[in-house]
Amino acid sequence: MSFTYQYAHPAVTVDAVVFGFDESDLKVLLVQRAGEPHRGSWALPGGFVEMTEDLETAARRELAEETGLSRLFLEQLYTFGAPERDPRERVISVAYYALVKLMDHAVRAASDAKEVAWFPVADLPDLAFDHEEIVNMALKRLKGKIRYEPIGFELLPEKFPLSELQRLYETVLEQPLDKRNFRKKIQGMGLLQDTHEIQQDVAHRAARLYRFDQAAYQALRKRGFNFEL
């Protein structure tokens, strides 16, 4: 089977930069390429867009297929289309970035035996194609957006102590934050619900666990509230 057009058409792919956070650092999910070009190199999960599916749908499908991830926060990042970015043919890639709660989602390699693994953003391997550029743009976007939209919670487990939220912000923004000011500000927003639970199995005083209150956020937003940290 083949497809013929009067004019040349590029191929269109979607690629996703999936971020995760564990106590110590920010990580990106990469897959090892099974085919040429760049066989064996690490790359962003992604693949070709089907003719009948939406771009975001394509990104979610590829993520599910290649990494087993679903139901995650996903947002379009930028479209990369330098003529020679793929040596095979002209390929335009619509890049997305995603945020996942690391604890909730064990990743599994796709059936076709490609490896899937998390890498700290501070220490990424060489990446295929222009994927390093894509990751850098995703990092910049995350860094910018986490300050004025409450997307950081997408990277934390449902229930979390304030110190973990602070560590996340410090990691992403790459700057230390004052503990008392941080707590005052975030608690003052009224977006955190006290679960009345505390940490288990910690070797020191256990912290209270909070939950992001999505309903309260939506209600506040309707009244003109703007998240900002």
List residues near DNA by CB under 7 A: 161-163, 178-181, 183-185, 198, 202-208, 228
Residue type, 95: A
**Residue 3 contacts a second copy per CB under 8 A:** yes
CB of 177 to DNA, least distance (A): 8
Residue 102 contacts residue 120 (beta carbons within 8 Å): no
Nearer to DNA, 33 or 167 (CB): 167
Other residues' Cβ atoms within 10 Å of the Cβ of residue 227:
17
Nearer to a second copy, 48 or 103 (CB): 48
| 11-22 vs 91-99, strand pairing mode | parallel
CB of 49 to a second copy, least distance (A): 7
Q: Catalytic pick from 115, 158, 170, 197? A: 115
| 192-198 vs 46-48, strand pairing mode | unpaired
Residue for token pair 């020679």: 84
Residue 47 contacts residue 66 (beta carbons within 8 Å): yes
Residue for token pair 């003109």: 224
- Residues in the chain, overall count: 229
Contact track, a second copy, 40-79, x by CB under 8 A:
--------xx-xxxxx--------------------x-xx
Residue 128 contacts residue 88 (beta carbons within 8 Å): no
115 counts as catalytic = yes
CB of 54 to a second copy, least distance (A): 6
**Residue 4 contacts a second copy per CB under 8 A:** yes
- Rule CB under 8 A: which residues touch a second copy? 1-12, 48-49, 51-55, 76, 78-79, 81-83, 90, 92, 94
Annotated catalytic residues are 115
